Chain A
Amino acid sequence: MHRAEGTHAHERGGSGSFACQPVMRSRGNTAIHGAPALEELWRRAADQDAEAFNRIRRRFSTRLSGWVGQIVSDTRARREIVDAVFSHLRHAARPISQAGRSPEAWLALESRARAVDWARAQRGISRGARARLESLEADYSWLPTIQQTALLEERRPLISKALRQLPPSQLRLLDLAVREGLSEREIAEKVGEPEGKIQSELRAAFRFLRHRLRAVMGAWTIGI
C-alpha cells in the first residue's frame, strides 16, 4: 500500500490494518502536498540521504513492527529487530537500488528472518534465516522488482483467494514454516507426523502458490 507521503495512518501516529484498504498507485509519481514519491525516496536513500531514510522509516516502521509482531511478542525485542532492519537498510539500499529491485520486498524478508531467528534463539534452537539472506547479499537480482511488488499489492485479494483454496492442513504447515521458521523435520516432530509426509505436503503448498502466483502476476486471472 503506497499512499502519498504523510497520508498513512502510521505516519500520523495512528495504527490500523492495511489488509483490506484499496491500493493507490503513487510509485514513480509525484505525491501530493509536494512530498516526494516513494520511488524518489528509495533513490535518495540509495545515495545515503539521511532525510530520505527518516521518511522511509516513518512510512514503514509500523508495518515492519506488525510483521515482526506476528512472530515476536516481546515489545522491546520487536523494537530492536525493527531498528536493526532499518540500520541494515542503510547498507543494502544502494545495491538493491542498483539492481533495480524492491526495497520493500527486502524489508519484508529481512524483518521475517530476524524475527524468526530471534524466536528460534529463545527456544534454544539454531538460527539460519538471517544467514541465508546474508549469503544472498552479494547480488540482489533475485529480489522482486518494484513493479512486481506493486502488482502483488494490487492483486492481494487474488492472492488471498488462492491461499484460501489450500487445504487447512497445508495452510498450517505454511504458517509453521514461514512464521515460526520451523524446518520440515522440526514441523514433523511438532505435529507428530512422518517427515516425508510433511515434506510432501509443504512443498505441494508452495507449488500450488507458485502456480497461482504466476497467474496472478500475469495478465489473465481466469480460474483463480
Chain B
Amino acid sequence: MDHRHLDDIYELYLLGLLPEKESLAIKEHLERRCLQCLARLSEAAQTVYALTLIGWEPRPAKAARGARRRRKKQPHSDRWHG
C-alpha cells in the first residue's frame, strides 16, 4: 500500500489538527492495523514529545523570571529553546 500521500500528516493527526478527510484516511489505515501507519504514528509521537522536551520547561525560579519576560518580548520563533 502506498503511504506517501500520508507521510507528512501523522504529526498533525496526532495533534488533532488534521481536516476530517485526511484524518479519515489515517484512521482507516490504523483500524486495519497497518504496520506502516503505526510506525509513522509512533514516530510522530516521538516528534511531538521531543517538542515538549525542548520547548516546554517548568516555570523558572523567581530570579530567572525577569530574564524570561524579556525573552518573551522577542519574536515568537525565539520561544523554542533547549
**Interface residue ranges, A against B (CB under 8 Å):** 10, 14-20, 62-63, 65-67, 69-70, 102, 104-105, 108-109, 112-113, 116, 128-133, 135-136, 141-144, 148-149, 152-153, 156-157, 159-161, 163-164, 168-169, 171-172, 174-175, 177-179, 181-185, 202-204, 206-207, 209-210, 213-214, 217
Contact = CB atoms under 8 A, between A and B. Distances in A.
Interface of B: 7-9, 11-19, 27, 30, 38, 41-61, 64, 75-77, 79-82
Nearest to B80: A163
B55 A70 contact: yes
A181 B16 contact: yes
Contacts of B42: 141-144
A109 B61 CA distance: 25
Contacts of B75: 168, 172
B17 to A, nearest CB: 5
Contacts of A10: 58
Contacts of B59: 15, 65-66, 69
Contact of B58 (A17, A113, A202): A17
A183 B19 contact: yes
Given A156-B54, A160-B81, A163-B82, A131 B16 contact: yes
Contacts of B47: 206, 209-210, 213
9 contacts: A15-B58, A18-B57, A66-B59, A130-B16, A144-B45, A152-B49, A163-B82, A178-B55, A217-B46
A70 B41 contact: no
B28 to A, nearest CB: 12
Contacts of B60: 15-17
B16 A152 contact: no
Contacts of A153: 53
B19 A156 contact: no
A184 B17 contact: yes
